[in-house]
Structure 1
């Protein structure tokens, strides 16, 4: 990835989408720090309690996401197309982390290595991440592909960890 491309992409209000375990939070944190803007993790908007998988009512979560997106500058990341598609009009850039399902599952195993292999929530998350390309609904590959293809502003599709790392390295070199 060239520095030229990084200078041509408007990262003022960046949406990052992708499968669970694709590295959305990792990238969003670094990008937000680099740009000195707020980072919004849609998991924290969607879930009242991640430990017990208690979802916030959709209207409430959507309202929270819209308030975050009304700010002048931000990085927002998440898997939830039903929320992201409501924010896309405010975005100046869209980054799609389109890693292979197996890579996402392996990333989750590394991230959650301290959890018991019999942990029901971990098992469900691994199954969820492993079904990205076949999953129907607003959080699957097809929904993200449609959102990406329809996005008319600056967009970037990163296909593997090396491309994500190269993007971050290029970004850091522009300091």
Structure 2
């Protein structure tokens, strides 16, 4: 096992007679890649979080709960247990009046065996189309945070990978130069003086 002495911080920027120009270039590439990685990740994550939170807040304001009525008996048989349990639901056809006065129909989940004319609460958008219940403030915050983190990590991956690829190319070029110089000097070491 090779002994590596103590870790030296910022070694790429210290004065050293053995430091090559390629070492300095690589130092700046690494620094630039890290700065762009952090900035891209943070800015993209914050922008995505704000966008999602704004969209979900708009849904909470615009979407309305409307009372709809079943147009026909729901399939299945009604039981006391299914009336209290929210897990046992079937699709039923309902009709509702949009805020602009137009009549709409659609299918929603209802209790099995519900009679025609039974009132059902549904959520609609400003055009009167069926939508899901809007996210609460805490649900919206959690969803926006998760999406922001995913977008931030994805955005940060691009400059990070680009910097790694560029450093890998520079390393290969340095090794090729080393091989060329070694091939030039190796024959000189093989000669005997005497």
Sort the TM-score into its range (normalised by shorter chain): under 0.3
Larger Rg: 2
Q: What TM-score, normalized by structure 1, do the two folds share?
A: 0.20
| Relative contact order, higher structure (CA 8 A, sep 6+) | 1
